Chains A and B, each alone.
Chain A
Amino acid sequence: MIKFDQVNKRYPGGYQALKNVSFEIAAGEMVFLTGHSGAGKSTLLKLIAAIERPNLGSVLVNHQNVGVLKNRALPFLRRNLGIIFQDHKLLFDRNVFDNVMLPLQICGFDYRESHKRARAALDKVGLLKREKSNPIALSGGEQQRLCIARAIVNRPSIMLADEPTGNLDTEYAHEIMAIFKSFHQVGVTLLISTHDESVLQYAGGRALVLKHGELQP
């Protein structure tokens, strides 16, 4: 499903974020990405969504080399990915429901179907009662769950989560992990970056460990 082969990423200015990273994630797997901050976790996730491009090596997603994908093709790659951003990237000029509607509008779902799906996604993360609120009125954990609802609403086969439990206390973090586990159970491929050991112990599963841009054996 996801395959990195000798991937190097150097940012303009010379900072080497990833060095010779190679790994493979099979379809339906739930994999954690850990390491100190600045180890290259976010960069690795950005390479999968082609938000950044590798300088060397290839990044394959569904057998497609996304590193060389034309800009025109990017939207269609990203529609297949559910991305949960570290900084949420919620839109505060509209309510919770409309935030979840955005991916459906982008994909051009019809009106009735998209309403149904948005409700289902909100229900899944337990925010159905808050659908009319502005995201700014939500707590950190709720904002994180809203971000998850937006990522799953068009039912992607791959989910990428960048520090989804970053600044949540343990109880909230486990709640979020429980949601991810339920996606894992229905066959979604997950790649979750975290520096939180307790989350790892709670959720189980394979872990890729990054250290200064290199994958630890």
Chain B
Amino acid sequence: MRHALDQNVGVLRRMFASKLSGIFNILVIGIALSLPAGMYVLLQNAQGLVTRFSGTPQISLFMSMDAKAADVDKVRKQLEQLPAIERVEFVPRAQALEQLKQSSGLADVIGSLNQNPLPDAFIVYPKPSQAAALDGLRGDLAKLPGVESAQLDSAWAYKLEALLKFGRILVLILASLLSLALVAITFNTIRLQILTQREEIEVSKLIGATNGFIRRPFLYFGTIQGLLGGITAWLIISISLLLLNHQLAALAQLYASQFALHPMSLGDSLTLLLFSMYLGWLGAWLSVARHLSQIEPR
């Protein structure tokens, strides 16, 4: 075992001897991978926003500004009798204003208002079985007396979700193309390595080396190059996120809210590294399969 290691270390050392071109290769792989992977991380963050807000769809029912307490009671009773509705939550206008103050970071602006611009509201939670008929339900509720308007709260989330689906396809296309590029880069690097070591390969074949023995160091090289490229991509993404978050923190402070981009999860990081290793291995394998058979001793 130690011997096999020794042998491969020797070959790998010779392969990595051309440092500069090696570093450039790894950089190219890293940048190529960081584009789709970085976009994926941003999408994940956006996805986080969507799921945070769109768990179960709700309908917000806004009373007209001049509705009396009696009107509100009447609507509440009607709502509680509707079979399609699971439960109803009443938000008095004063409470709504308070919530707005706390959550949006517009405390200063709201404080300067001399009257409450918000109406009384109900938050209606439809039964899950009603998912398909939500729009009809919203129309019915809007027609109740004293109700100014009814809004399907999750509508924007659905729109964003649709947008994210578009983004995901974009990432997928980008990732496929750049993965191909990575395989091509490795293919070519290994081709050059094989050419420069042509003599050694020829002699090895003459004195009884199996194809597996000759192939192995090239496969290792491709895999290691892929891994180093993956690490580079990970660093590019992590450092970019760090820089972005630094700037975001300043921005979020202006709005008195807390928002930060999440870094790559452990699982995603591992996937990135394993995937880049696999691609490097694949490129090397294809190259070796293509070029080693052309070197036959004469």
Query: Which residues of A line the B interface, CB within 8 A?
Result: 49, 51, 75-79, 83, 85, 89, 91, 93, 98, 102-103, 105-111, 114, 150
Which residue in chain B gives the minimum CB-CB distance to A101?
B7
Q: Given A51-B297, A91-B199, does the pair A111, B3 have CB atoms closer than 8 Å?
A: yes
25 A–B contacts, CB within 8 A, in A order: A49-B206, A51-B297, A51-B298, A75-B205, A75-B213, A83-B207, A85-B206, A89-B199, A89-B202, A89-B206, A91-B199, A91-B200, A91-B203, A98-B10, A102-B207, A105-B6, A105-B7, A106-B204, A106-B207, A106-B213, A108-B3, A109-B3, A111-B3, A111-B6, A114-B3
Contacts of B209 in A (CB 8 A): 75, 106
Q: Is the interface of B mostly helix, strand, loop or mixed?
A: helix
Give the CA-CA distance A122 to B129 in the complex, in Å.
86
Task: Check if B208 sits within 8 Å of A79, measured CB to CB.
Answer: yes
The verdict on B210 contacting chain A, using a C-beta distance below 8 Å, is yes
Task: Check if A103 sits within 8 Å of B207, measured CB to CB.
Answer: yes
Contacts of A150 in B (CB 8 A): 207
Give the CA-CA distance A83 to B2 in the complex, in Å.
28
Which residue in chain B gives the minimum CB-CB distance to A91?
B200
Interface size class of B (residues with CB under 8 A): 20 to 34
Instruction: Return A23 CB to nearest CB of chain B, in Å.
Output: 24
Contacts of A110 in B (CB 8 A): 2-3
Contacts of B298 in A (CB 8 A): 51
Q: What 1/0 flags go to B104-120 for Cβ under 8 Å of A?
A: 00000000000000000
Q: What 1/0 flags go to B275-298 for Cβ under 8 Å of A?
A: 000000000000000000000011
Contacts of A89 in B (CB 8 A): 199, 202-203, 206
Task: Check if B203 sits within 8 Å of A78, measured CB to CB.
Answer: no
The verdict on B68 contacting chain A, using a C-beta distance below 8 Å, is no
Give the CA-CA distance A77 to B202 in the complex, in Å.
16
Contacts of B169 in A (CB 8 A): none
Instruction: Return B42 CB to nearest CB of chain A, in Å.
Output: 47
Task: Check if B14 sits within 8 Å of A102, measured CB to CB.
Answer: no
Contacts of B163 in A (CB 8 A): none
13 further A-B pairs in the complex, CB-CB below 8 A; given A89-B199, A102-B203? A78-B208, A83-B207, A89-B202, A89-B203, A91-B203, A98-B10, A103-B207, A106-B213, A108-B3, A108-B4, A110-B2, A111-B3, A150-B207
